[in-house]
Structure 1
Amino acid sequence: MLPVWEAPVCVWESVSTTHLYGVDFSGADHGGVHKIRIASRSASGEVKVERADRTTLIRMILESARGGDSHVWRIDAPAGIPLQTLRAHGVTENWLASARWSAEAGSPRAWRTRLREVSREEPRRQTDGEARTPMAPMNLRVFKQTWTLLCEVLLPLHEQGISIAPMAATNSRTTVCEGCPASVLARLGWPVRGYKGEGEPPQRVRGLIARRLIEIGIPITPALMKKVVEDTEGDVLDALILLTAPSQTVIPASALVEGWVY
């Protein structure tokens, strides 16, 4: 049985001195083509949402590390690979080794083909079970996000000294970690489905979730509320959901390799 270790003080512990970011990520071709949504909350409490591609996202994260404040980036995409998959391919059970091995494939499609040549199973990580994430990292709807975040975002960021929690800590005051809006909604007992799509019912659910975010301390202006309600894909809302504080927990040793949903 893998040991467990007590999680360090949560990176959200001092919200008053930390800049928080929730990122609705995209693994689409051509760098995400501004499909990414970044919600940010400054130390003063101001909240805004902006569009970005992956190049812009990486630049913003690196720029945040140049100041003296703490910055935490919570990204909605799998940040690691299941141990079962690494063992099936003889990959060293180490997050950095798994990221470099994945990058060798050259593209998400080639990576998935390599995986399926050995097994067509889609194993879930321990954190997927704990956080009740909707899909496994290699699922057909998710694999592009998994590979792209791991190989084109996290790996180069780590090489620039950025801390990737909990797998690859550094001395940087900027930390990137994994989040999942569906997991947050489930934990809070809020609607997990029904807020994406056109028409009045999904609009009503988006408005409901946004009002509940306001109730727990995330300020949403009328202008931003309008964006939330009108965004049929729910991307703006997903980014805002990731500004909520995660629950404190004991993190298993497997998370140092597979990643952990905060």
Structure 2
Amino acid sequence: MWKAAVILRKSVIAMQFHGVDFSGADNGGMHKIRVASWKSPTEISVERADRSALMRMILASAKSSEHHVWRVDAASGLPVSTLRAHSIDQSWLAAARWSAAIGSPRGWRTQLRLISREEPRRVADAEARTPMAPMNLRVFKATWTFICEVLLPLHEAGVSIAPMAPTASHATVCEGNSSSVLNRLGFPTRGYKGEGDPPKRVRALIARRLEESGIPISTNLMQQAIADSEGDVLDALILLTPLVHTVVPAEAAVEGWIF
């Protein structure tokens, strides 16, 4: 066991936090990404971005005098068992490059299923109680895209990837999971996405509980979060909750970890 570099919420003045709802993008993050940014103790903004815009934002933050933490709702690595099954070196970078070389999320999932149709979960998935494995049909496009077209080029640009490839960069990208956060906080984990009054009431409940927990949600932003039937705005806000500090297992350096 080893302790990963801990990302501390010291102050939103000295450090800016960003929650990125990425995993709901069915086309692998081409658009529909929502980025919540905690810009000051009393100011949070949520904006829509495509993948290119998200990359530009992260790279720009690396040049900032402040430290920026980007918590993204998408799987950041593959299970060690999957790497072994495909004779991939036991490292996050080797797995990312192997995945990228396949060229597409569909081809990647097909390649994985040539060896096994099982969907193994990572140590982080078991710990955080995530609803799906990284290669699940519902999330595989986001998984491949996040690893291959976001994390890999960011790593090559010197951005810190926690805990697999930490650097001294002022920008750190880590994995989050909105469902896991809701479960940990005791908030409703289901029933907040969809049209109609019942889901809307659940969104309102979650948003108000987030506000009560210390996240400064303005009246306008509260209305946006409640009105958004797909739950993207709310998911981004959920990812602004305090990061989980824990001692992580050695597998996390390869598989990724959920903060």
Identify whether the pair has TM-score above 0.5, normalized to the shorter chain. Answer: yes
Match of 2:227 among 218, 227, 230: 230
Aligned residues: 258
Secondary structure, aligned partner of 2:248: strand
CA distance in 1 between counterparts of 2:169 and 2:2 reads 22
1:133-212 equivalence runs, <5 A: 133-212=130-209
8 Å CA contact 2:12, 2:38 repeated in 1: no
1:53 aligns with 2:50: yes
CA distance in 1 between counterparts of 2:8 and 2:55 reads 20
- Structure 1 runs, 4 residues or longer, greater than 6 Å off: none
CA distance in 2 between counterparts of 1:115 and 1:12 reads 37
By how many angstroms is 1:110 displaced? Answer: 0.3
- Give CA-to-partner distance per residue, 1:70-126, whole Å, 9 cap, x none: 000000000000001000000001001110000011000000010000110100000
TM-score of the aligned structures, taking structure 1 as reference length: 0.95
1:69 aligns with 2:66: yes
Gap runs ≥5 in structure 2: none
1:237-256 equivalence runs, <5 A: 237-256=234-253
By how many angstroms is 1:28 displaced? Answer: 3.9
Amino acid at match of 2:211: I
CA distance in 2 between counterparts of 1:123 and 1:106 reads 22
Amino acid at match of 1:108: P
1:32 aligns with 2:34: no
Match of 2:14 among 14, 17, 22: 17
- Equivalent residue, structure 1, for 2:101: 104
By how many angstroms is 1:246 displaced? Answer: 1.9
By how many angstroms is 1:12 displaced? Answer: 2.7
By how many angstroms is 1:165 displaced? Answer: 0.2
Give the stretch that moved more between structures: 175-184 or 11-20. 11-20
CA distance in 2 between counterparts of 1:35 and 1:9 reads 30
Secondary structure, aligned partner of 1:251: coil
- Give CA-to-partner distance per residue, 1:20-52, whole Å, 9 cap, x none: 0000005544x7343100000014441010000
Amino acid at match of 1:233: E
TM-score of the aligned structures, taking structure 2 as reference length: 0.97
